[in-house]
Amino acid sequence: MMCKRFTAAAALLCALQGAAQAAPPELLVWINGDKGYNGLQKVGDAFTAVSGVKVVVQHPEGAPDKFQAAAGAGKGPDIMCWPHDRTGEWARSGLIVPLRPSKAVREGIDEAAWQAFTFKGQVWGYPLSIEAVGLIVNTALVPKVPKTFDEVIALDKQLSAQGKKAILWDYNKSFFTWPLLAGAGGEIFGRNAKGELDPSQVGVANEGAVKGATLLRRLLDDGVMARGARYAEMEASFAKGQVAMMISGPWAWDNARKAGINFAVAPIPGLSADKPSRPFVGVLGCMIAVGRRAGGHHPRPPKPG
């Protein structure tokens, strides 16, 4: 997993500043419970110190569904911090407002993150972090991190003599296997002349995707990976030192630490050195809700077409 933290305090403070223009007594922020809500509260406390506006950070269970129900009724949080995959839905529903980040803030954050929160030509969230699955490596078993799957296969031959395996992941879940297909040239959708995703251009079975799938078949046929492996099996094997590498995200780090595994995180190997794997990327960001008090801090925007 590659997790790139931005100047989160600066980005969030911009979002808070925009939401606090009407000087409400407090700002309510929601974020998922597996994210850094304590750190976010510290950012809110810093904002309180300079603005006098109290910030309360909560992490309710089922936050997305609760947000949709509450925001539709003019309730819920002022700021919703969530991955970008709900942005279009909430923008279409009129639950969040479009934003105008300053040039300084825009330039201080990776453009790919802004694109994740861009819908119908407008920005709908301030990015806080980028997250992706990666190669989690037991450094005691892997002296040099492989850059290609040919190197992984060679490593597996060495480790097999010790009764261990080189790599394992929950390959039946496309979230974890997609990096192989995309690295070889596969894509879910192509883009039109405007640079927008075009659902008529489906690339999950193009030449590159087939090459990636063929590599997976080779790993299974050659016994590099066990057929039918699931996530729990992968994680348990890695924790026991039976598997040297696994493909997963930051949620897997704590269990590896608890198991006493010294590990490093690296890019997922590619089909070749010039074709690195390309995982799905999730961007966490803060979106400003239409408003929950007396008609809201913000007028309800027109729904994007």
110 and 179 in a single domain? The answer is no
Whether 137 and 155 have beta carbons less than 8 Å apart is answered as no
Closest CA to 115 of 127, 132, 104: 127
Q: What is the pLDDT along the chain (305 residues), one digit of tens a residue?
A: 444 444 555 566 655 565 555 555 789 999 988 788 999 999 999 999 998 899 999 999 999 999 999 988 888 999 999 999 999 999 999 999 999 999 999 999 999 899 999 999 999 999 999 989 999 999 999 999 999 999 999 999 999 999 999 999 999 999 999 999 999 898 988 888 877 778 888 888 899 999 999 999 999 999 999 999 999 999 999 999 999 999 999 889 989 999 999 999 999 999 998 888 999 989 999 999 986 543 444 444 445 55
Q: What is the pTM of this model?
A: 0.73
238 and 188 in a single domain? The answer is yes
Q: Tell how far CA 68 is from the center of its chain.
A: 21
CA–CA gap between residue 33 and residue 35 (Å, rounded): 5
92 and 160 in a single domain? The answer is no
Phi, psi of 282 (to 5 degrees): -110, 135
27: amino acid identity, one letter: L
109 and 48 in a single domain? The answer is yes
CATH of the domain at 271: 3.40.190.10
Question: How many CB atoms are located within 10 Å of the residue 98 CB?
Answer: 19
Q: Alpha carbon of 282 to those of 2, 239, 247, 261, 292: distances in Å? A: 10, 26, 16, 26, 28
CA–CA gap between residue 216 and residue 146 (Å, rounded): 16
What's the number of domains the chain is made of? 2
Can you tell me which residue has the tokens 């990666």? 134
Q: What is the pLDDT of residue 8?
A: 54
Can you tell me which residue has the tokens 């709900």? 86
218: amino acid identity, one letter: R
152 and 269 in a single domain? The answer is yes
Q: What is the pLDDT of residue 274?
A: 85
205 and 71 in a single domain? The answer is no
99 and 235 in a single domain? The answer is no
Q: What is the pLDDT of residue 72?
A: 80
Sequence-separated (6 or more) residues with CB below 8 Å from residue 217: none
147 and 274 in a single domain? The answer is yes
Classify the C-alpha dihedral 187-213-144-274 as positive or negative: negative
**CA neighbours closer than 13 Å in the CB half-sphere of residue 200:** 3
Whether 177 and 225 have beta carbons less than 8 Å apart is answered as no
Domain region containing 233:
134-279
Q: What is the pLDDT of residue 6?
A: 46
Q: What is the pLDDT of residue 294?
A: 35
78 and 162 in a single domain? The answer is no
238 and 203 in a single domain? The answer is yes
109 and 138 in a single domain? The answer is no
Can you tell me which residue has the tokens 């911090």? 81
Q: What is the pLDDT of residue 292?
A: 59
In a domain, 295, yes or no: no
Q: What is the pLDDT of residue 197?
A: 76
